Amino acid sequence: MNSFKNINSIKYTLWLLFFLFNILNVKAQQEVTHLTLEKCLDYGLENNYKVVKSQYDKQEKTFATKEAKSKVQPQVSASGQFDNYMKLETSIMPGEFFGQPGEQVFVNFGTTYNYTLSGTLSQVIFDPSIFTDIKVARNVEELSAIKSKMTKEETVYNICIVYYDLLKSGEELDKIHELLSQKDTSLMITQKQVELGVTHEIELNRAKVDRSMLEVSERNLQATISQQMNYLKVLIGMPVENDISVDKAPLTFIEVPEAFMSDSINIGSITTIQQLEVEREQLLLKKKGYQLQYLPTLSANITGAYQYQSDNFELSTKNSWSDYAYIGFKLSIPLYDGLAKQSKINQVNMQLSSLRKDLEHEKQVTYNNYFNAINQLLSAYQSTISQQENAQLAEKVYAQTKALYHQGKMTYVELLSSEAAVREAQFTYIAEIIKYKKAKLELKKVKGELLSLAG
């Protein structure tokens, strides 16, 4: 009986421990990570899928450069070979060699057991194309670094856009919460007025309908924020199941610095321009490589071997061992290839001409984008100033209308109209601030300064 009680006690203890462990685990999983824009950018530049892949590609190109450099170094190899001829090869020899004129004699050549150890050292003495290949590999490595930088810039840009959209949605949700709180107060006052017979019940129903519509807007915004949060996690490379929150500091409007008006663009710092310049260098190296193929190449190799030959497998027999060594040189002189190399050079020339046009066009597009970004920033600045004034005026009108409504001097329809006006003015002002921030972001993108936003 006591044994049965002990077993139940142990089971109860185990279930209790399991229950407590799950509670602690759930609490750990529910920890919320608070992220500012800078933290999002830092985390994204470390964990974003595309950024991580670009780093792998960059490292791969580094190893490719080392591979190209290895061709200049001596190449050393060693080998071993063992042959057991269970039946030796037979050849027919004239009988005169064996005192049997006029007859053919069957002769076995070689030995039953053959074992060879050899080593070879080869070295390129003259081959200009090898050094060109090294330069090409370095060029590819540089191009990979530029593409990695472009990936980081794209990641920073996308994270900022989503973060700004989150700020906009969060600010709008806060405004709706304020309006709901005000609506509750208005409902209570309207309810009292209906009970006192000061106003009609239809006014109360209108207030309830308007509050219900605000609740629908609230739910829609909450769903939008949830989607934006999940997308932000994907962008920064964070597991979607993690709980995060973004900085809910109120949106503040910042005046346009004078530097935006006077600062010019450094066309050489733009990654797309850098990429085209490196691709041009790559084509020039490719062309040089084809031209160097007209030159001869010279290489040398040294081989040494230690060989065992015997009909009896006795490695300790010294008379069965022999060695040999030789040194060789190889000179290759290209004479005629049917103009294949010249055709390849002509192809590269055409590619260079096309790339020059791409470079000219990209510079024009960059300057155009720069001036458009400046104009867009100025326009967003002016619109935000105007909308800020409109929002302040709408809030003032709404406060006056609400006070008059509470005194019974305004109808509920007039109050609803004022509420709609202030809500639209506030949301438009928030949208203009976000538009201004995105305009500044676009200008940084055009100027190649996006990575300066990260810590």
Give the chain's domains with CATH numbers. 32-73+127-295+334-453 (1.20.1600.10), 74-126+297-333 (2.20.200)
Who contacts 434 (Cβ-Cβ below 8 Å, separation ≥6)? Answer: 164, 165, 167, 168, 251
How buried is 454 (Cβ within 10 angstroms: 0-12 exposed, 13-18 middle, 19+ buried)? middle
> Going residue by residue through the chain (455 aa), what tens digit of pLDDT does each one get?
444 445 555 555 555 555 554 544 544 445 778 889 999 999 999 999 999 999 999 999 999 999 999 999 999 999 999 888 888 777 888 877 777 787 787 777 778 888 899 999 999 999 998 999 999 999 999 999 999 999 999 999 999 999 999 999 998 998 899 888 888 887 888 788 788 777 778 878 888 888 899 899 999 999 999 999 999 999 999 999 999 888 876 676 666 656 555 567 888 889 999 999 999 999 999 999 999 989 999 999 999 998 888 877 777 777 788 889 999 999 999 999 899 999 999 999 999 999 999 999 999 999 999 999 999 998 998 899 899 999 999 989 988 988 887 777 887 778 888 888 888 998 999 999 999 999 999 999 999 999 998 86
Contact assessment for residue 321 and residue 307, using Cβ atoms and an 8 Å cutoff: yes
**Cα–Cα separations (whole angstroms), residue 206 to 195, 220, 224, 424, 443:** 16, 21, 27, 19, 47
